[in-house]
Structure 1
């Protein structure tokens, strides 16, 4: 079906008949059934194909470029534009580098699971840099912006009533678009909401499906920015691609029928008590805390942190750092969760923390005990994502039902990767244990994509430290299983802050490990071919990872047809790691 015919297409006759005469939660449930039927999951990579019809600019410049809500200037020339299929990527540094796939409802909230992760109705083609800055923050009204995109989209502190954390605000032209995409999500997936993380935006019950403060924001945006022809075009194209529709674009009055005239009843239910409160780090003048998230019938909006019985700070995340303390002093803490209606939970258990003295050994920058890992379908292997102590962790091909001390993450043909952490890394410590059957092996430890050593594992629980890593820049750490079948539990992972001479300065990127016997001779690579210098005769397998430690490709007998080059398949623009035996090489795809 061509785009011209799509532009005039509408919902099939009778598509919404089963919703006739309904309001409130009943209408929402009826619409959920309608838009679930016919939905065809085309896969995450299929989005690139879908965007060639769904996200094309036919309404502003009308030039066939990508219509990006984070860069489109509706009244003037766009700051940059993207050609469909040729500017897509996973790596970027500034605005205008490339476009990628922006989940308007962050995929971390639903553990990157299907079919949500590839549902084109709420996943837009947007500039990679702006997408990265938006991160997984909810949408709201920004007070003071800490980042502003070239079309005026903003990140900053919330001035929306009921929420004081960080929010992202698109320009007025697309506020209604965002609202209707989120309304679609909480309707299509209402039966799964109780298993998702709220992200300070979603509700945990089918109705209303959103936290009160976020619902109020989105209702206002829906009313101030009515459905546009661009939205209608995209809805029709998405229906042709995926087989279901966004009912709030077809019938905008559904919004008021569900959430406007049928407002939620007064919320009197308090959140559950926060659990797992622990001290995650100390310095001479600060103590860091982390805890497991509370749950609520509508949604938790904040946590009050009490020190020595008095309110010390209020945060929206499940971690906090209390500063301005005295050295060598013990303090007690507990946490109270609150929802948008102001209902407080019971006090959490109390923990004590002691600041260090004026002269201290290196302190832990990161300490992960895996107590907050998601445990849905714990014995199955999938991508697991969680946040603890300010670090977001991603474990691929992982299960959560095995233990070493208490909880642990078990990785099979995958990796464990942190988000970026400040203050560098001195030494890293982790406990490992081989589970079920298999043979002893190692995890390759990558810091900012470069190997810094290996961690052994066997059937015996073993704690290993890699000393003198000494990298001073912001660091992302990945532990990559060298086996594709051994199931290995990881527990009590920590690293100390950088405190010495750095072996890798950020201004001089390293394209290979130290003393590596092999080198990449042409970098960036071209034509999906990697040229390698050195003795490749003994190399039986090549593995390619992205910088998050995810295995992208495995090539057996990589030098079978050529002694010095490897043919790879369809890698997008970005930076990757090539593992050849003991050599770990960084390369760039332009």
Structure 2
């Protein structure tokens, strides 16, 4: 939106004339550094602090948080909805009718956002009503932010209308869920948190950490959060809006934010953060494998970085597809009998991107071929992110899923469903289930590792382990033909497990039978196979254009073009002992390698 400088200059001049800090305000901090400087500032800003009531914050916001800088219309200046470069998605006035209250979506009402969550200090005074770190923000966005720490988001689970994000952290040193404001207000957030851990340093040992606060006066923050906030403090310098707000807060409750008055104090206390400008090395050895009619698997060698790689962006035919944290992925939603080209780019927490990996082509199978992915569920259609546990229902790929006692605000690779004491159940699917693959993760540090139970049509088919690390598990040889219902059960009371990237292969009687009944003119021998040589007898063998060998989980082992052009023999090239399927464009047959 437009910035109106002339009215702002008048406002700033007005505040500077009668609300600046006294000339001697910071005298006691002169010449100090490190913990001593932090303690001196704590004493300065504690003296003179006159706490007001929590209800009075709304009155205080008229002077501290009115928009005299963008639209210059006196509306509520909300850092979660303000659009510095265009029109705000919605605007609140300083009236009781705009205050929350109940809300169901953005733009319904605004409330009081504790930048340091009140749950960390038990909603105690004077922290509970300290205007220096409590901002008026949209109720819905405030609810999404919840009590998560601030950090840089990689994979998003929610984006507000002004671009503030909730999702998986890519801040170095922390991989949990974080909230990221837009660039224009990152420094504001950092300096409010610096104020909090300085003003209340003597009480930090009694506060909960919330994965952000330290438990001692110095440094007062966890290392990862401190490094991230110092970087934001430098990248987004003090703005005229902050100066005005600091002056108004001083009038309102008698103390100031020293990191707005003296931004240099941050470096003098905590040092200067290392700015990461080095990009990761390019991912190497990208290959495609396990094609189905609608998916292809990718794998590559990990990149290296001076600080650490936080994720990999996968591109399909030059277009961004998804970000993952590991070195494998399955690209789904593809068309049958189609060739795609893939490459991967590595990123670090600072956003530095590597050069692209090698480009790897992959071709999907024709529709109806056995093996590969028969169905997938990536949980992108689950209900909106919510931390409340309830029964969730959604439909994707013509399959309806029901998750009981579940929440929708957690992520692994994109959205994930999190189940506490419930289960995840599909509607009836066709095509059977040969094998099943799923990724699990415990997002909460208070929970411990364990196992989920997989049932197909009510019968136990295997166990799925879960731990604090994202774990992908494949259960093979399920081999249930016809209609099937998939059910994943969490029977470990109280543990909260996230589930993502569920896929399964089809299974049919034809796929494991002998020669198809409608193609009786072909036979294979010997069976079991010995000496790695499989022979085929039948009419017009030389017209068969392709032969493919699958294992019983549906994994494609080998494709042979024009297999009988010169003989009726297939060289199995040392297949290990086991059961396999030979599939051609004329017949399908099971064989055993002895």
Q: Computing the radius of gyration over CA atoms, which structure comes out larger, 1 or 2?
A: 2
Give the TM-score, by structure 2 length. Answer: 0.47
Give the TM-score, by structure 1 length. Answer: 0.47
